Amino acid sequence: MSWYGFACPMTHVLEAGFETIDRENPNGSPSIRGYNIIGGKLTQSSDGSTFESTNPAWLDDCLGEFPLSTEGDVHEALAAARAAFPSWSSTPAPTRGQVIGNMGRLLMEHKEDLVRLQAREIGKTLKECGGEIQEAIDTCLFFQSEGRRLYGQTVNSELPDKELFTYRRPLGVCGIINACNFPSAVPFWKMIPAIMCGNTCVWKSPQDSPLLSFALARIMHEAGLPDGVINLIHGKGSGAGQHLVDAVDLGMVNKISFTGSTGVGKMIGEVCGRNLVSASLELGGKNPLVIMPSADIENAVEGAYWAGFGTAGQRCTSLGNLIIHEEIYDEFVERLMTKVRSTSIGDSMRNEDVLYGSMLSERYAIDFLKGIEMCEASGATKIWGEGRITNGNKPENFHGDASEGVYMWPHVFTDVTEDMECFHEEIFGPVVTIVKARDFEHALHLANASPYGLSSAIYTNDRLEAYRYKTGIKAGMTGINNSTTGAEAHLPFGGVKGSGNGTRESGIWVIEAYSYWHAVNDELSGKLQLAQMDVDEIEMEEADADYAGLA
């Protein structure tokens, strides 16, 4: 399959190879006919049904039309992955690493085009999209070298003339399901280590970013990936995604890796659990950020502001509960609100220096507004935010025509207490709930009081407080004098409690999620030797010999 590159999707048509459909977009960008990629072939859904991807910052802009995959399509993709598994798993790991390295270099070559495509499809700012594509590149380059380091061990036997070894072995066919808020970094977090270990994949693209997924999958094939190793299917979570999970019950899937809501993650965990199938579940968060009196206030305000409103609050690591020590509460809130009131919002493809853009889609906007209603019903005090931005209801620093897209005010609620629903529930969007703490012990208690445990942070210049926080917090990740957000390709990512099942993305740790240990016992003596039984006889013979020598 040849590479079909992108020109800037806002100003030029896509280069040859992407079939366009007859539609006029207001920005002059083309609409693409997308396909599933099954066994290296471009296919439509078996019943011909489709859905559209639209730009949330410019709703009249249709990026393309994509297959609404059926159960039969999903099963066909799984069969293709199963057929490709023997050859790919027997390919030397350094060769697999070289293919992954090629992916990273192609991503670098086409980075600018992919950044603009992603920004157009999900409304994130160009700067954030650039960072995310770079993270996908970093993941490829990191795991390229891991192809030469899938280490096992040589273990000493307790019996003579015997060798013991351990090896990493691939699991088989992996089902990959990710959300659209990080549509390039997260699938690469999952699929790159999966194929590095020798697995094959069926990737269900996020329903709100199918064109980017289509482009990324074609880059993977252009890098030299054999047909069937990664198969792409499009559709909705309740359709193609559910069919992929249901296939676990049919014995067609050996691993599910899912990033999304805790409720859906629990369902997937139940299906995998009853089939003894491995599941990687990276779920929601209500991430606490504690501000102590010794903190550098200006630095802490910057961290809290970005954690709460970067990506329009649509990160699983976005700030949930801002926990402020009562000694500095009033000063901190005043400084934070100065920044909140000045927040620049708009489509970054048409406006420079905006903090955040649109919501990821209309459905995310609907869910966010329900979360705001929940905050108000909980009894929290709203000090900023007026729901959806319209031309008649917009903050001072909103840029553009609000009727074109799906934009939200930044929201801040104070007087939040531990007994309120909004203290415990994740709200996916630009909102911060503020809680007052009496002292460090109370702050740590509040930080641990939600049902989630993904990310966390504290701003303090007291080393003992920093130590007690990082040892006392129940979370998978902690920032000290840093925000709740941020991940690097070589550091483990994941949570505890309601935020996940203990598996991790990224770094060498993720290899555990996509391989199993195989112990090999190589008998060289030419006779049967039984561990724990024969070893006693050997030890007794040695003891008798030693005694005879002494005598």
> Which domains, from first to last, does the chain contain?
73-282 (3.40.605.10), 287-489 (3.40.309.10)
119 Cβ neighbours under 8 A, 6+ residues apart: 125, 126, 129, 348, 349, 357
CB 28 within 8 A of CB 14: no
Encoded amino acid at 519, one letter: A
pLDDT for res 533: 85
The tens place of each residue's pLDDT in the chain, 551 residues long, gives 233 333 333 322 233 368 899 888 998 899 999 999 999 999 999 999 999 999 999 999 999 999 999 999 999 999 999 999 999 999 999 999 999 999 999 999 999 999 999 999 999 999 999 999 999 999 999 999 999 999 999 999 999 999 999 999 999 999 999 999 999 999 999 999 999 999 999 999 999 999 999 999 999 999 999 999 999 999 999 999 999 999 999 999 999 999 999 999 999 999 999 999 999 999 999 999 999 999 999 999 999 999 999 999 999 999 999 999 999 999 999 999 999 999 999 999 999 999 999 999 999 999 999 999 999 999 999 999 999 999 999 999 999 999 999 999 999 999 999 999 999 999 999 999 999 999 999 999 999 999 999 999 999 999 999 999 999 999 999 999 999 987 788 899 999 999 999 999 999 999 999 999 999 999 999 999 988 888 666 565 666 666 566 65
Encoded amino acid at 396, one letter: E
Examine the residue annotation and report whether 8 is marked as an active-site residue of this protein: no
Q: Could you tell me which residues are beta bridge partners of residue 282?
A: 259, 500
For the chain, how big is the Rg over CA atoms in Å?
Answer: 26
Q: At what angle do helices 93-109 and 185-196 cross, to 10 degrees?
A: 160
Cα separation, 459 vs 469, in Å, equals 10
pLDDT for res 532: 83
Cα separation, 33 vs 213, in Å, equals 13
Site of tokens 């050997």: 538
In this structure, the strands spanning 162-170 and 153-156 are antiparallel
Which pairs with CB-CB distance under 8 Å and at least 24 residues apart come from 399-405? 399/344, 399/345, 399/346, 399/347, 399/350, 399/351, 399/354, 400/346, 400/347, 400/350, 400/351, 404/57, 404/58, 404/59, 404/60, 404/347, 405/55, 405/56, 405/57, 405/58, 405/59, 405/123, 405/347, 405/358
Cα separation, 490 vs 329, in Å, equals 36
Cα separation, 186 vs 494, in Å, equals 12
Q: Which of 62, 174, 316, 375 is catalytic?
A: 316
Cα separation, 40 vs 99, in Å, equals 16
CB 174 within 8 A of CB 78: no
Burial bucket for residue 482 (CB in 10 Å: 0-12, 13-18, 19+) = middle
